[in-house]
Structure formats: C-alpha cells, structure tokens
Amino acid sequence: MPVDPSFAGRTYPPTEPYDVGREKIREFANALGDDNPAYHDRDAARALGHPDVIAPPTFPVLLTFGATRRLVEDPELGIDYSRVVHGEQRFAHARPVRAGDSLTVTVSLETVRSAGGHDMLTSRSDIATVEGEHVATAWSMIVVRGDAS
C-alpha cells in the first residue's frame, strides 16, 4: 500500500540527549580502520583547532539511525521494514561532532514520492547541542519496494 504523500512535513519530538564520548569516537574510527590523529588524539585535534577529538563525517549516523526507525515504526505510515532499502544519505556539517557534545535530534519527514511502484521517503534529522547550537543535518532517503517486485 503506497505511503500517503500528505504525511510529508510531519515532525517527531526531539530525541533524548546523546553524550558523545572520546572512546566511542575512537571505537567508531577503529571500526573504519582509520587512524587519523584528529579522531584519536586530543592534542592532535587541538593542533587543528578543535577543542577535543572530532568524529568522522558519518559518525552522526549513530544518532540519525533512529530517524529511519521512527518513520518505519510510525503506525500511521504503515511501512513494511522488510521492503526498505537505503537509497541515499547526505550530511551537512556546521562543524564536526566532537567529544563532549550532548546532542539531540529532531526528525521530520521531508518528502514522500512514488515512482515505478516504489515509495521514496526522505527524512531530515537536525542535530543540535542541548545548548541549542546547530551542529549538523542529515538526510536519509529510503525506498519502500512495492508489492510487484
């Protein structure tokens, strides 16, 4: 059953704060096999002008992963998760995420469109510190495959 395009614009309440830790950043960078000193060494990060170690560009997925889940679990949208494929992903950083940040995410369903029997939903996740500083925005486009395929 196609997703009703009129759901576009719907916004979900902000998430509970996520505290970004140095060791979590290092763990994430290690999982990527990336030994860039900016991710691991506070002094190296400071030498680059950052207050603490910074996170890799895709680290916010840890926070926005829940965005897709919110849409998928919204009973009114009626999405079948087994038919969901990740189509596109984009991040825009006002500044890098860094250790010591306490971040909340506000998710909205930006667009809904259908093509070729599939639904394409783009969610927008606005990431901000608990103090209200905008840090990054992530867009995630998921494809919900239609019944025919």
Partner 1 sequence: MSSPAPARPALEDVAVGTELPPQTFTVRRADLVRYAGASGDFNLIHWNERVARSVGLPDVIAHGMFTMALAVRVVTDWAGDPGRVVEYGVRFTRPVPVPDDEVGATVEVSGVVAAVLEDGRVRVDLTATSQGQ
Take residue 122 and report the two structure tokens written for it.
């783009």
Residue 54 has φ and ψ, to the nearest 5°, of -105, 160
The gap between the terminal CA atoms of the chain, to the nearest Å, is: 13
The one-letter code for the residue type at 4 is: D
Question: Does 44 help bind partner 1 (rule: CB under 8 A)?
Answer: yes
Complex with partner 1: residue 92 or 115, whichever CB lies closer? 92
Q: How far is the CB of 4 from partner 1 (least distance, A)?
A: 25
Find the shortest distance in angstroms from Cβ 11 to partner 1: 22
Distance of CA 31 to the CA centre of its chain: 18
- Report the site for partner 1 in 57-116 (rule: CB under 8 A): 57-58, 61-62, 65, 82, 85-93, 95-96
Q: Which of 19, 34, 73, 133 binds partner 1 (CB under 8 A)?
A: 34
